[in-house]
Amino acid sequence: MKETLYTQTFEVSDMQISLGVSDKGLVFAAPSSDCEKERATYQWLEDTQVTMPFVQYYQQYFNGQLPTISFALDLRGTPFQKQVWETLLTIDYGQVVTYKDIAQKMKRPSAVRAVANAIGKNPILIIVPCHRVIGSNGQLTGFGWGIPLKKKLLTLEKNILSTRAKG
């Protein structure tokens, strides 16, 4: 029997996002078109009461606010993947780092490719900020939801920080 997750699909910034929440926290949040694996893995039970704090986070983010994570994440992956994703959570809003920076921060400097692979499997769009990781040459690379979205997210964050610095 499949594990049941509380789910909701919603639209924000011209994007449909589906998310799934366990009793422990947010398990996944991704563009709806990319959730085939999650649909096959879990039993989906729509529950907007449970999912409301997560939806509000995305609404605030795309409305130019600096939302804080006030809920639990239920990161599911290998111990190494979870370590990578937890390291991503330390990247400040509007900042960018390289895959090499993440590997070094984890004290695994030779694991750059493994770090990139784990980042590519990040199941939680924006909240686990894999979009803030760029190539060593400064190029926008390796974003599972597409480079145009990565650029959009980084530009949004830069503009919000710029506006706040002026005001």
Place 122 in a pLDDT band, splitting at 50, 70 and 90.
very high
The percentage of the chain sitting over the pLDDT mark of 70, rounded to a whole number, equals: 99
Per-residue pLDDT at 68: 85
Q: Which of 103, 130, 133, 153 is catalytic?
A: 130
Q: What is the pLDDT of residues 136-167, one digit of tens each?
A: 999 998 788 889 999 999 999 998 888 777 76
Domain membership of residue 109 as a residue range: 79-165
88 with 53, same domain: the answer is no
Q: Can 35 be counted among the known catalytic residues?
A: no
Residues 97 and 48 placed together within one structural domain of the fold: no
Helix (H/G/I), strand (E/B), else coil: 43: strand
Residue 167's pLDDT is: 62
- Segment 38-54 shows an average pLDDT of 95
- Can you give the pTM of this predicted structure? 0.92
The pLDDT value recorded for residue 21 is 97
Q: Is residue 74 in a domain? A: no
Amino acid 134: pLDDT: 95
Q: What's the pLDDT score for residue 66? A: 84
Among 39, 63, 87, identify where a domain stops. 63
Average pLDDT over residues 3-26: 95
**Statement to judge: residues 55 and 115 lie in one domain:** no
Mean pLDDT of 87-96: 94
* Cβ-defined contacts of 42-45 (< 8 Å, 24+): 42/2, 42/3, 42/4, 42/5, 43/1, 43/2, 43/3, 43/4, 43/5, 44/4, 44/5, 44/7, 44/20, 45/4, 45/5, 45/6, 45/7
- Alpha-carbon distance of 146 to 30, in angstroms, equals 12
Q: What pLDDT shows up at residue 152? A: 93
Residues 102 and 154 in one domain: yes
Does residue 45 form part of some domain? yes
pLDDT, average across residues 34-41: 91
Question: Is there a domain that residue 151 lies in?
Answer: yes
